[in-house]
Amino acid sequence: MDESKPDFEDIYIKLRSAEGRVYSDSEVKPLPDISPNHKHYKEWQVRKKSSEMLVDYIRQKENHKSILDLGSGNGWLTHKLGEINQFEVIGMDVNITELEQAARVFNDKPNLAFVCGDIFKLELKFDYIILASVIAYFNDLKKLISALLNNLNSGGEIHIIDSPFYNDTAKAKRNSEIYYNQIGFPEMAKHYNHHSLDALKEFNYSILYNPNSALNKFKRFFKPSLLPFYWVRVEGF
């Protein structure tokens, strides 16, 4: 499938580079493990925790085995998911630069495939679809989830991790605009969207981890590395 989005990709990769989020092949391979000296070490500690929670969850469901990792980026999570009983995992993205890196770094893993494509045209079905740190790049979350439900096998599940949900999306949008202006990529604001849990209300969803529960807020006060993001499961038909 050839659905690269060159205008998005160009600005996205430049932004990620400015943020220090473009990694060398040797850094990608062991992710989420990274040197404690790396500027995003703390962020990767959070990602390590959330990916381990997800992997443990999926590992327990032995009758499920195919996974789509949508917006797979450099493929680190696709790789981690593929370690579960050698499940077949497809990493799909629109960003050729990181797809090529993923295919290069994890080329010794025959159960992984990395494809460029338009999710709204994908006709394959999966047991799990993972949206890790990716919903912000879709402007209509309801439309995305509705489409993805058609890509699920019976009893399949969509998991959203490592993504914020906002109570005040207008304020969050303004904050993003300020951030992208400051970092020198104002045009990125049009690619970055802000969703509230309200967008999921017509779906059969459950919150598997709520960072804003009183207990988790309390715990995070003492241990800031605890997950700041929701973990949401949307069940298929």
Residue ranges in contact with ligand SAM by CB under 6 A = 12, 70-73, 77, 92-95, 98, 119, 132-134, 137, 162
Q: How far is the CB of 47 from ligand SAM (least distance, A)?
A: 7
Q: How far is the CB of 94 from ligand SAM (least distance, A)?
A: 4
Give the residue with the Cβ less far from ligand SAM, 109 or 219: 109
Q: Determine whether 202 is exposed, middle or buried from the number of CB atoms within 10 Å of its CB (0-12, 13-18, 19+).
A: exposed
Q: How far is the CB of 131 from ligand SAM (least distance, A)?
A: 8
Q: How far is the CB of 171 from ligand SAM (least distance, A)?
A: 21
Give the residue with the Cβ less far from ligand SAM, 3 or 219: 3
Q: How far is the CB of 187 from ligand SAM (least distance, A)?
A: 15
Length of the chain: 237
CA distance 108 to 125: 25
Give the residue with the Cβ less far from ligand SAM, 34 or 92: 92
CA distance 113 to 160: 21
Give the residue with the Cβ less far from ligand SAM, 199 or 219: 199
Q: How far is the CB of 221 from ligand SAM (least distance, A)?
A: 26
CA distance 1 to 224: 41
Give the residue with the Cβ less far from ligand SAM, 65 or 79: 79
Give the residue with the Cβ less far from ligand SAM, 161 or 200: 161
Q: What single letter denotes the amino acid at residue 67?
A: I
Q: How far is the CB of 69 from ligand SAM (least distance, A)?
A: 7
Give the residue with the Cβ less far from ligand SAM, 95 or 151: 95
Q: Name the nearest CA neighbour of 156 among 42, 233, 102, 71.
A: 233
